[in-house]
A and B are shown apart, each in its own frame.
Chain A
């Protein structure tokens, strides 16, 4: 297995709009090892689209062009839809923002995990799949897995739902996990808990993680490296522990505009967007 898990070169995504195409992602290149990579940006910066392009779940009307997109030695640009489908869920998993919308509302959560397991291994006996589902619920620190197994999504709290989602995604031990705002819908106290579970699983199982978020501080606490995106381009790549050394005015602006508990009460500095940030970068 190579050290580089994912390599993307010059990814472009555009959507048809009235009178032409509008570019959503404009030349993103990145590589990921077995590490935690954060992608940060505002809504519309193209961060989620980048993750979705890697999975191959963009809507059919999206125009994608990419020079190179490789996942663990597999050329994704040449891969058949069937192969990509088998990668999804199996070797690549995705955790979405809101468990309320991502779980099937009329199916017990345990059975949803069992379904995920048996899609991966159709010959696995039911009893064995049930056992695995209970074990993975325990692995995401759910105290009473038997009880939670037979609950419906609406009976779960947000944090619990998100842990079920994570359980469903890690149960097949993917090599790559894409987490798209996995904690934005959660309370701060629960957020820390969910993040540490995610951290534990990713580290222990040696996965690569792409963590998409709009929260720069959260990402920097949690990831190894951070990519900052603005208007479909990468403006800066940083080591997470060196966030304060960010040089791009956009990154600095994002850091400055957050209020803090002990911060000054003067008006918050507002991002002054500059047209030059939109220009193509070398």
Chain B
């Protein structure tokens, strides 16, 4: 579903991601874990075409992202950001925010679909008339997920989806994401610094450090501590 080969991302003179390769199959949930600055979010943003300066190849559904138009890419993959306070337009009501991608892509009947989406993520339809500041953090993150699902993408790229939330709300959002992945047969790439969240959510994971991939593990390997790199052990010990 996603095939990343020899990806290198530069920010001016500094290298944010160095020669990273991984692949994610249809319906799989893949985790990227590491400290801040290790390049994990940069990979997500590059997949979505948000970084101009990169080399290597990224294929989504067999199609090279360099030759894919932005709208086409947006219909295949969508991103959910860390901070739901910052990622929703403060002067758009929720309904507008969710319908915006549908309007850009000229999909039919955005109003009806907005209500369906709100229902899907567990908020009453009346919420479409509210502003983001009238919602709690968890509710906002639900809205961000609904917006990401508006174009029926096959892939969700989740950048620290729960680290701005309380632990009690985190559980609700993680449960919701798992349920959506099952029901809609989605493919996930989840970035997190929290190994516990990754171990709970992901079938496989890649540990990153200083712009490079340290190792890739299956959940079983992580749980049986079948680990080759000492850095991964350090991370487990710190969690």
Task: State A265–B35 Cα separation when bound (angstroms).
Answer: 24
Is B174 interfacial (CB 8 A cutoff)?
yes
Which residue from A189, A257, A260, A271 sits with its C-beta under 8 Å from B238? A189
Please tell me if the beta carbons of A189 and B223 are within 8 angstroms of each other in the complex. Answer: no
A175 to chain B, nearest CB (A): 31
Please tell me if the beta carbons of A188 and B167 are within 8 angstroms of each other in the complex. Answer: no
Shortest Cβ distance from B195 into A: residue = A261
Residues of A within 8 A of B104 (CB): none
Residues of B within 8 A of A253 (CB): 168
Is A43 interfacial (CB 8 A cutoff)?
yes
Please tell me if the beta carbons of B35 and A257 are within 8 angstroms of each other in the complex. Answer: no
Please tell me if the beta carbons of A190 and B223 are within 8 angstroms of each other in the complex. Answer: no
Please tell me if the beta carbons of A257 and B36 are within 8 angstroms of each other in the complex. Answer: no
Chain A-chain B contacts (Cβ-Cβ < 8 Å), number: 77
Is A214 interfacial (CB 8 A cutoff)?
yes
Task: State A190–B223 Cα separation when bound (angstroms).
Answer: 23
Given the interface pairs A187-B35, A262-B223, the reply to whether A214 lies near B167 with Cβ below 8 Å is yes
Please tell me if the beta carbons of A43 and B199 are within 8 angstroms of each other in the complex. Answer: no
B209 to chain A, nearest CB (A): 10
- What 0/1 readout, one digit per residue, does chain A (235-268) give for beta carbons within 8 Å of chain B? 0000000000000000001100111111101011
Given the interface pairs A261-B195, A270-B172, the reply to whether A158 lies near B200 with Cβ below 8 Å is no
Residues of A within 8 A of B193 (CB): 187-188
Residues of B within 8 A of A188 (CB): 35, 193-195, 235, 238-239
Task: State A268–B197 Cα separation when bound (angstroms).
Answer: 11
Residues of B within 8 A of A262 (CB): 199, 223
Interface size class, chain A: 20 to 34
Please tell me if the beta carbons of B170 and A257 are within 8 angstroms of each other in the complex. Answer: yes
B231 to chain A, nearest CB (A): 9
Residues of A within 8 A of B195 (CB): 188, 261
Is A191 interfacial (CB 8 A cutoff)?
yes
Please tell me if the beta carbons of A269 and B171 are within 8 angstroms of each other in the complex. Answer: yes
Task: State A43–B85 Cα separation when bound (angstroms).
Answer: 14
Is A157 interfacial (CB 8 A cutoff)?
yes
Interface residues of B in 134-183 (CB under 8 A from A): 137, 166-172, 174-175, 178-179
Task: State A188–B210 Cα separation when bound (angstroms).
Answer: 15
Shortest Cβ distance from A187 into B: residue = B35
B145 to chain A, nearest CB (A): 16
Please tell me if the beta carbons of A263 and B194 are within 8 angstroms of each other in the complex. Answer: no
Is B236 interfacial (CB 8 A cutoff)?
yes
A186 to chain B, nearest CB (A): 8
Please tell me if the beta carbons of B167 and A257 are within 8 angstroms of each other in the complex. Answer: yes
- Chosen A-B contacts, 9 in total, with CB atoms closer than 8 Å, are A43-B166, A187-B36, A188-B193, A188-B239, A214-B166, A253-B168, A254-B167, A259-B200, A267-B179
Seen from chain A, the residues whose Cβ lies within 8 Å of a Cβ on chain B are 42-43, 157-158, 187-192, 214-216, 253-254, 257-263, 265, 267-271
